[in-house]
Amino acid sequence: MKGRIVVLDEVQGRPAAALLVDGQLQDLLVDPAGDEALPGAIYRCVADRLMKGQGGVFVKLPEGSGFLRQTSGIAPGAKLLVQVTGPAEPGKAVPVTTRLLFKSRYAIATPGAPGCNISRRIKDEGLRAALEALAVAGMAGAAEGLGLILRSACADVDSDEIAADVAAVRALAEAVLADTDGGPELLVEGASAQETAWRDWADPAPDEVVEGGFADLGVLEMIDAVLEPRVDLPGAGHMMIEPTRAVLAVDVNTGGDTSPAAGLKANIAAARDLPRQLRLRGLGGQIVVDFAPMPKRDRAVLDQVLRAAFKGESAETNLVGWTTLGLYELVRKRDRLNLAEVLEVGA
């Protein structure tokens, strides 16, 4: 099964989307069963309690509360527009930000960041100039401080389609920015799994979009594998991925391979696959990796592999480095719900 295939189906009766590249599951999105706020949702809220010791403020949402990591210029009772940045941990407030982004398939409207910009992934200077002219025309007379980014998916799209997309995202942004009167209210819903797939998996364009193909294409079996802690690596090695209350623990093993280079081979394979595994499982936070034993001189090689592996990830990741115990630490932003919790595995 070659090529880039987007599969739209359901899991446990809920809409889901899977991205397959050459038969391997690269990304997976499943809508949650509850009514919790999805990342990207935009609210009008009211500032509540300042938590200076924590560097933030609680805000009142229509249902429950959010936590905004910002205190400067905010007084209790102030009305704010905020956007959900990630899933809420059990018993905690929803993380929000005042830096709003209005995303569509081809464009991103950026309040507070004026100007028109083109994705750096588009290299052709002629195309960049044409897209910049299109963006400037589309944003003529826009609300003050409203900027625009044209996404890399614009590279092979008709200009009329891009212009229509820009007009729609601009209109939505201007309407929301003007809607500041009233109490806490949901103004823009977060994108569902299939909407996110349509919006964010457009570059490169899929070779095929299949509806209802989870069973036929083996996606259900791939999901079952993702829910298991063990990940088999090329060769005899494997790694175990096990969340705890404090950290996410990853343990890399060489298995039956006893050759001198077994540790480095298993570690390189694990490092290359780790971003995909974290993405599919919806895992983030503080991560500690216990790599298989290898000479210290090989750490530089593994550092390069890790940097290359995480370079293209959309979730912000900080590669902290090695501890005195020989463990490797990194921090990954929680940008989606934990798949095991969404599917209520073990509940």
Residue burial 113-122, b: 16+ Cβ < 10 Å; e: rest: beebebbeeb
Q: 227-342 adopts what CATH topology? A: Aminopeptidase (3.40.630)
Give the model's pLDDT for residue 72: 81
Give the model's pLDDT for residue 171: 97
Give the model's pLDDT for residue 87: 86
Cα–Cα–Cα angle for 289, 293, 297, rounded to 5 degrees? 100
**Residue 36 DSSP class:** P
Nearest residue to 111 (alpha-carbon basis) of 174, 188, 189: 174
DSSP 51-67: EGGGTEEEEE-SSSEEE
pLDDT below 70 — which residues of the chain? 345-347
Give the model's pLDDT for residue 310: 96
Per-domain boundaries in the chain:
4-31+201-211, 42-99, 102-181+187-191, 227-342
**Backbone phi, psi, residue 92, to 5°:** -115, 165
**Identical fold, 42-99 and 227-342:** no
Is the dihedral angle over the CA atoms 228, 234, 240, 241 positive or is it negative? negative
What does the radius of gyration of the chain's CA atoms come to, in whole angstroms?
22
Give the model's pLDDT for residue 347: 46
Give the model's pLDDT for residue 152: 94
Spatial separation of the C-alpha atoms in residues 305 and 301, rounded to whole Å: 6
- 38, 189 in Cβ contact below 8 A? yes
- pTM of the entire predicted model: 0.90
Tally Cβ neighbours within 10 Å of residue 165: 20
Give the model's pLDDT for residue 335: 86
CATH number of the domain located at residue range(s) 42-99 in this protein = 2.40.50
- H or E element in which residue 297 lies: none
3-state secondary structure (DSSP) of residue 266: helix
